[in-house]
Amino acid sequence: MTHSTINIATTPEDHHIAKLAALAIGLSLIDAAIPSPLPGVKPGLANIVTLLVLLRYGFNAAAWVSLLRVIAGSLLLGTFLTPTFAMSLCGAAASLLTLRFASLLPQRWFGPVSLSIFAAFAHMTGQITLAWLWLIPHAGIAYFIPVLSAAALLFGMVNGLAAAKWLASETETSDVSAPLASSP
Amino acid sequence: MKTLMKNGDWAVLAAGAVLVAWLFGALWGGGAANKVIIRAGGKLFAEVSLNRNRIFTVPGPIGVSIVTIQDHRVRVARDPGPRQYCVKQGWLSRAGEAAICLPNQVTVTLAGAKRLYDSLNY
């Protein structure tokens, strides 16, 4: 019996991104398990990972982690290529685009919390726009906007604080890769 | 907390809070009613402010409907119609709300600062 294996040459960076994406996927599964009072109101815990990757490894790595998380997360949840997946992808794309520009803000004054709040609002705007253009083309969708934006502000702040806390604890300990490398 | 939040973060948070408050006001609060329009048989019976407590006796083809304005709200207190839909609707307080007593041909509509549509068709 012969073993036929296909070897794809991978760089350490690929492994790193895969590990971080796995962490983000785990968090998005937890996210999906949390009951939501209203469709669209979710903590978005996986965005903590996106933020960390953005601040530590740059935009390209963050985009990879975020998009891998959306695709692999939807495969695990059984929503791949459904409207839920499209909403998720649209939200992730809008928030990445915003992060691209928000990360140009001076870091002296604007930390992870600002980035997280911007990303959360962009995520919500992207999803609302897609929902309005495609799924619910009715002006009544505007009634959801205040509640969704309040949730975006709250969870954006909480996720940003979590990311800031994590970054602060990492810079204290000299071994910077330890918390991420020990992730499942 | 202090080290986790930089000055700009507080500013972004405050701006976000203002935006959310504004969105609530703009998208939810636009319906404050200030005027009651009562029609009988399609003709205007009364157009009055919601600020004064009053009771109207509106005659129709099968009897008399009683419309009450109280504490910036309005309701049909009594109606001769068999199904009492307009009475069961209870107090109305937002612009665009309406109670329609069809058998007696009496309608009570609330209007705000700007005119709202019942429905739109494309």
Give the tens place of pLDDT for each residue, A100-137. Answer: 999 999 988 999 999 999 999 999 999 999 999 998 88
Are B17 and A121 an interchain contact pair (Cβ–Cβ within 8 Å)? no
Position A21 scores a pLDDT of 94
Please report which confidence band the pLDDT of residue A181 belongs to, taking 50, 70 and 90 as the band edges.
very low
- Mind listing the pLDDT tens digit for each residue in A35-61? 887 877 889 999 999 999 999 999 999
Sort out which chain B residues have CB atoms less than 8 A from A112's CB and list them. 4
Sequence spans of domains, chain B: 1-30, 32-112
Position B117 scores a pLDDT of 62
CA distance B15 to B21: 10
Position B79 scores a pLDDT of 92
Sort out which chain B residues have CB atoms less than 8 A from A157's CB and list them. 13
Q: What is the CATH number of domain B32-112?
A: 2.60.320.10
Are B24 and A146 an interchain contact pair (Cβ–Cβ within 8 Å)? yes
In this complex, is the C-beta atom of B28 within 8 Å of any C-beta atom belonging to chain A?
A: yes
Q: What DSSP assignment string belongs to chain B?
A: -TTTS-HHHHHHHHHHHHHHHHHHHHHHGGGBEEEEEEEETTEEEEEEESSS-EEEEEEETTEEEEEEEETTEEEEEE---SS-HHHHT--B-BTT-EEEETTTTEEEEEEESS---S----
Position B119 scores a pLDDT of 64
Position A178 scores a pLDDT of 45
Q: Six-digit token pair at A151? A: 């949730």
pLDDT at position A98 over 90? yes
A12-178 CATH fold: Arp2/3 complex 21 kDa subunit ARPC3 (1.10.1760)
Give the phi and the psi of residue B119 in degrees, each rounded to 5: -160, 160
Give the phi and the psi of residue B67 in degrees, each rounded to 5: -110, 130
Strand, helix or coil at A40? coil
Position B116 scores a pLDDT of 58
CA distance A168 to B23: 34
Residues of chain B with pLDDT under 70: 1-2, 29-32, 113-122
Interface test with B, best of A123, A125, A132, A145 (most B CBs within 10 A): A145
pTM of the predicted model as reported, rounded to 2 decimal places? 0.71
CA distance A102 to A118: 7
In this complex, is the C-beta atom of A161 within 8 Å of any C-beta atom belonging to chain B?
A: yes
Sort out which chain A residues have CB atoms less than 8 A from B6's CB and list them. 108-111, 113-114
pLDDT at position A89 over 90? yes
Position B118 scores a pLDDT of 61
Please state the rounded mean pLDDT for residues A133-161. Answer: 89
Q: State ipTM.
A: 0.81
Q: How far from chain centre, in Å, is Cα B104?
A: 22
Strand, helix or coil at A82? coil
Interface test with A, best of B12, B18, B24 (most A CBs within 10 A): B12
Weakest mean pLDDT among A121-125, A166-170, A179-183: A179-183
